[in-house]
């Protein structure tokens, strides 16, 4: 009789102990979950934006595209004479020539207008529109053909220089129409990304994002 009572006692104590252990385990899991949700594991990352901005601005203009071209232009001018209220071509008043030449147009981004700012783990780079930095006609390539001067309208040096000056905007418009400014912008972003990632103090955990500067048309 006593043995049976003792066995039942041990069984009840065992059940109580098991319930206690299960309760403690559940409480531990609940506490751990609360701790994780209240204090998430985050890495503190930082970057010296101002120092980086100054270094990039010191580059001034970043050329990324050089557009080489060859062109042939035609110049002609006819002097007119007014008679009886009408204009007529003056005999001997025509002058004309053909001219061929090579040129180089450089395009890129003005980094002196660049600005940086960081938000969390993103580094935002504001860039202005790509622009033409220089346009040179290579004088050694200039050749004249079919020069014709009229008796009353002779070709002058001014005709050549004025004609060549008028050619530059036309070739720039052609380069822009063919998408070279867009290429210059893309090239600037690629070069800047490589340059920034190589700068001392850059944190590789930052994501670099390029945005348009205020007033940009892109």
Same-domain pairing of 10 and 68: no
State residue 218's pLDDT score. 53
4-61 pLDDT, tens per residue?
333 343 344 344 444 444 444 444 444 444 443 433 333 444 568 888 899 899 999 9
Residue 72 pLDDT greater than 70, yes or no: yes
One domain, residues 2 and 96: no
User: Is residue 166 over pLDDT 50?
Assistant: yes
Residue 188: band (very low, low, confident or very high) from pLDDT cuts 50, 70, 90: very high
Residue 117 and residue 146 in one domain: yes
Same domain, 56 and 130: yes
218 part of a folded domain: no
CA distance 196 to 118: 13
Residue 135 domain-assigned (yes or no): yes
User: Looking at the structure, do residues 14 and 101 belong to the same domain, yes or no?
Assistant: no
Same domain, 78 and 115: yes
Give the separation between CA 59 and CA 86, rounded to whole angstroms: 60
Does the residue 20 lie in any domain?
Answer: yes
Asked if residue 4 and residue 76 are part of one domain, the reply reads no
- Of 159, 158, 183, 218, nearest to 105 (Cα)? 183
Overall pTM > 0.95? no
Structural domains counted in the chain: 2
Tell me: do 184 and 200 sit in the same domain: yes
Query: Binning pLDDT at 50, 70 and 90, where does residue 95 land?
Result: very high
Q: What is the mean pLDDT of residues 57-82?
A: 94
If asked whether residues 115 and 95 sit together in one domain, one would say yes
Q: Is residue 21 part of a domain?
A: yes
To the nearest whole number, what is the mean pLDDT of the chain?
81
Identify which of 114, 120, 123 has the alpha carbon closest to the alpha carbon of residue 201.
Answer: 123
**Domain containing 6: what range?**
1-41
Tell me whether residue 63 is in a domain.
Answer: yes
Among 23-27, 111-115, 152-156, the least confident range: 23-27
One domain for residues 70 and 156: yes
């Amino acid at each position: 009789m006593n043995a049976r009572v003792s066995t039942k006692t041990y069984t009840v104590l065992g059940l109580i102990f098991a319930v206690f252990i299960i309760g403690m385990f559940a409480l531990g899991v609940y506490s751990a979950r609360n701790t994780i949700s209240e204090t998430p594991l985050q890495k503190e990352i930082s970057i010296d934006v101002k120092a980086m901005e100054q270094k990039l601005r010191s580059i001034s203009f970043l050329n990324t595209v050089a557009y080489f071209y060859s062109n042939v232009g035609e110049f002609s001018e006819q002097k007119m004479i007014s008679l009886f209220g009408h204009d007529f071509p003056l005999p001997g008043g025509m002058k004309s020539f053909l001219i061929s030449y090579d040129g180089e147009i450089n395009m890129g981004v003005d980094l002196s207008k660049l600005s940086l700012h960081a938000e969390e783990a993103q580094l935002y780079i504001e860039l202005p529109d790509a622009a033409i930095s220089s346009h040179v006609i290579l004088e050694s390539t200039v050749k004249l053909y079919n020069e014709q001067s009229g008796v009353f309208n002779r070709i002058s040096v001014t005709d050549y220089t004025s004609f060549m000056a008028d050619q530059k905007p036309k070739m720039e418009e052609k380069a822009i129409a063919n998408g070279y400014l867009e290429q210059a912008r893309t090239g600037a972003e690629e070069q800047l990304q490589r340059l920034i990632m190589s700068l001392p103090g850059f944190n590789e955990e930052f994501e670099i994002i390029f945005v348009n500067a205020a007033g940009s048309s892109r």
